[in-house]
A and B are shown apart, each in its own frame.
Chain A
Amino acid sequence: MKVIIGISDMRIGTKADDVLITYSLGSCIGVVLWDPDAKVGALLHYMLPDSGIDASRAATKPFMFADKGVPRMFKEIYKHGAKKSRMKVYVVGGSQVMDEAGMFNIGKRNQMIIRKMFMKNNVMITREDVGGNVNRTISLEVGTGLVRMKVSGKGEVIL
Chain B
Amino acid sequence: MSRIDEILNIANHLPPFPKVALQVMKMLNDPKVKAKDLAKVIKYDSAITANLLKTCNAAYFGLSRKVSSLDDALVIVGQDILKDIIIASSSSRFYKGGAGEGYELEQGELWRHSVATAIMAKLLAKHFPKVSPDTAFTAGLLHDIGKRFLSSFVASDFAKIVKLAYGGKMSFVEAEKEVLGMTHAELGGMIMERWEFDEELRRAVRQHHDPDALEKGELTALLAIANTQVITLGVGAGADGLTGKLHGEGLKKYGISSLDLECYLAELLTEMDKAEEMFALAE
Contacts and interface: CB of A to CB of B under 8 A. Distances in A.
Interface residues of B, number: 35
A134 B235 CA distance: 13
B244 A26 contact: no
Interface stretch (B6-14, B200-208, B256-264): B256-264
Q: What is the predominant secondary structure among interface residues of chain A facing chain B?
A: loop
Contact of B166 (A57, A61, A96, A134): A134
A27 B259 CA distance: 14
Nearest to A48: B262
A27 B266 CA distance: 13
Given A103-B248, A106-B265, A96 B233 contact: no
Contacts of B258: 102-106
B251 to A, nearest CB: 5
Given A28-B234, A99-B248, A103-B251, A135 B266 contact: no
A153 B241 contact: yes
Contacts, number: 116
B270 interface: yes
B141 interface: no
B221 to A, nearest CB: 13
Interface string A60-89: 010010000000000000000000000000
26 contacts: A24-B235, A26-B237, A26-B241, A27-B234, A27-B242, A28-B234, A47-B233, A53-B262, A53-B263, A54-B263, A57-B270, A61-B269, A95-B241, A97-B232, A97-B246, A99-B248, A100-B248, A102-B258, A104-B246, A104-B248, A106-B265, A135-B241, A152-B237, A153-B162, A153-B165, A154-B162
Interface of A: 7-8, 23-28, 47-48, 53-54, 57, 61, 64, 95-107, 133-135, 152-154
Given A134-B241, A152-B237, 5 more contacts: A26-B237, A95-B242, A103-B249, A104-B228, A106-B265
